[in-house]
């Protein structure tokens, strides 16, 4: 599970890719090496792992045996912080609500649009540096995963 605690969106998705910590990625293959966050809310990724054992047990004739498989799980919790920047030109097409005809088309650098927007409404933790709009994104992630299995075999008493 991963979620953003501080960020910025306005009608778009954040679309962040969070690298899975090395400890988690090296201990299990189910997570891969990244988790995607698509907006400012919480995102959970669940993977199902099937555990089994392929060991041979000789059971004496007329007796019963019990096999118990135990899976050891680990948890990994972390906070993350990343600097995000966006730059480029935004194309805006203004259409008539009545008949959807194009009224005007505007191209402007994202910095100009954000400067205008911040003067009108403010945008908190974003800053404009050169041709980039930058902001900090922080959040938390939690991982829980199986790392080891043990098989215990015991005779069943009648």
pLDDT tens track for 16-73: 555 555 544 444 444 443 444 444 555 555 556 666 667 777 888 888 888 888 878 7
Residue 6: pLDDT over 70 = no
- Residue 121 scores a pLDDT above 50: yes
Instruction: Report how far residue 28's alpha carbon sits from residue 148's, in angstroms, rounded to the nearest whole number.
Output: 10
Q: What share of the chain is helix, strand, coil (3-state, %, to 5)?
A: 10, 50, 35
- Could you state, in order of their start, the residue ranges of all structural domains in the chain? 2-48+63-156
pLDDT, residue 29, reads 41
State the DSSP H helix or E strand holding residue 117, giving kind and residue range, or none if neither.
helix 110-120
């Amino acid at each position: 599970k991963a979620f953003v605690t501080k960020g910025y969106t306005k009608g778009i998705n954040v679309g962040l890719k969070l690298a899975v910590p090395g400890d988690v990625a090296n201990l299990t293959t189910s997570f891969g090496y990244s988790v995607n966050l698509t907006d400012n809310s919480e995102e959970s990724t669940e993977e199902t792992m099937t555990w089994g054992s392929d060991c041979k047990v000789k059971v004496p004739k007329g007796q019963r045996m019990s096999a118990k498989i135990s899976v050891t799980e680990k948890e990994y919790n972390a906070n993350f912080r990343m600097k995000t920047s966006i730059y480029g030109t935004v194309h805006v097409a203004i259409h008539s609500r009545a008949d959807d005809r194009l009224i005007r088309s505007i191209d402007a650098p994202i910095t100009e649009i954000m400067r205008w927007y911040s003067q009108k409404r403010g945008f908190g933790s974003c800053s404009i540096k050169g041709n980039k709009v930058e902001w900090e994104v922080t959040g938390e992630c939690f991982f829980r995963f199986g790392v080891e299995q043990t098989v215990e075999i015991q005779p069943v008493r009648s």
